[in-house]
Amino acid sequence: MTERREFSAADILDWNRAASPVIRVRVARDIVPGGLALAMAPMFVKWGASSTGFGADDHYIVQNVNIVNNPVGNVVLLATMKVFAASVESVQFVAVTTKVRRRDTPFGHAMLRFIFKEDRRPIILDQEGRPLANDSEVSDLVVSWEAWRPPDASFDPVRGLDPTTYALTPRCLVGAVRCLNDTLLNRPWHCYNLKLPDVEHAPDEMLYSCFALADAVARQTVSHMIDQKIGRGVKLFDDYTEASESDWDAIGDYQRDSKLPEDPIRDVLEGKISYQLLERSCITMALLSLDWGNHRIHRRAGLPEPRRIAITPEGLPSFISELVSGERTPLLLRIPAVMHWVMQDQATLVVGKAPKALAEIGLLERRLGRPVRTVYDNRRKTPYGRLMRHIIY
């Protein structure tokens, strides 16, 4: 077993406070306090250095983006990127399916893929905050919600029924980096183009909603890890405003009213609960991002309220729906507090069935009445061209 090297809480905070941190991570060795893999560190948006409008110069500074991954060499490079706020060409829901005996199954992983305009692509920054020498632009980014685990630990779906087993980490990766991982694992990509309202900056609004939710949850997760839980009267970040007393009370009520069965492991093994409960972190959070983003788009454009994605049996708490109002604070702080409630609630979707839920509310492009889907087996066909063109040996 590889000897572990732990980064202290102080190291992590100093690293993330830097203007544009870059760090080379040994996947099987480097851990954060508590033993979780540093390579799975969540993305953060440096809001103080960002501007959230949709002007030509507005942008986000996103930290911990996985820009290089060499599985053979056991190395990941986490870097900082400048992502223009008005830059998204299209958005895709990506179902990464798991194969059993060379056959696709409806189970697997869900991600969101943002494809950028050629002249507005995200820029990788060096440690001085300048564009990385020679080749700083990337064509797409993937946001992936995952169960944060120690190095070498595989996801255990039965243990994952307990929301205290794994931490929730929203990871941001260059698309080709994630594609390489799934290629090695023989996991095809099923890509579905979103059909958004024909209003200005609709894809950009979806990117903002996804980043806002991911960053809020990332801050909550890391705060718990370093034993600085966000509580009443505690203000950890200058650009976050504390939630009101009534909001905290409402959050507690929803957590206490959870519909999680008393013995979920037994019930799952007896087939009484859908498989969605096992995959809820990736699928639920991806769908929540799309649902909130779609609602924000309609609200900003003065359109009628859209149909909501059938994510959970009950509606979300009212203070979470306020995300559509367009105000960044204090909503970013309020969002993570209900994640425990969202994670415990039963849902009726699996990754392979999620596109149907999106299609039912008109969020997917259609051709001849069916959702448009592009399948990449990745070993022969990838979104980035044939692998043989990219390998020098």
pLDDT, one tens digit per residue, over 55-91 is 999 999 999 999 999 989 999 999 999 999 999 999 9
How many Å apart are CA 364 and CA 196, to the nearest integer? 8
How many Å apart are CA 287 and CA 112, to the nearest integer? 9
pLDDT of residue 238: 45
Please name the amino acid found at residue 94: V
Range of the domain at 171: 5-390
| pTM for this prediction | 0.79
| Greatest pairwise CA separation for the chain in angstroms | 62
Q: What is the Cβ-side half-sphere exposure of residue 191, based on CA atoms within 13 angstroms?
A: 20
pLDDT, one tens digit per residue, over 97-155 is 876 666 766 677 899 999 999 999 999 999 889 999 899 999 999 999 888 888 988 87
Number of compact structural domains in the chain: 1
Residue whose tokens read 């996985």: 66
Per-residue pLDDT of the chain (393 residues; tens, 9 = 90+): 568 888 876 676 667 667 899 999 999 999 987 788 999 998 988 888 888 789 999 999 999 999 999 989 999 999 999 999 999 999 999 999 876 666 766 677 899 999 999 999 999 999 889 999 899 999 999 999 888 888 988 876 656 655 567 778 889 999 999 999 998 888 889 999 999 999 999 999 999 988 887 887 777 676 666 543 334 344 434 443 433 444 434 433 433 333 333 333 233 333 332 222 333 458 878 888 898 889 889 988 899 988 887 765 444 445 444 544 445 444 455 444 444 444 444 344 567 778 888 888 899 998 888 888 999 987 778 899 887 788 887
Phi, psi of 92 (to 5 degrees): -125, 140
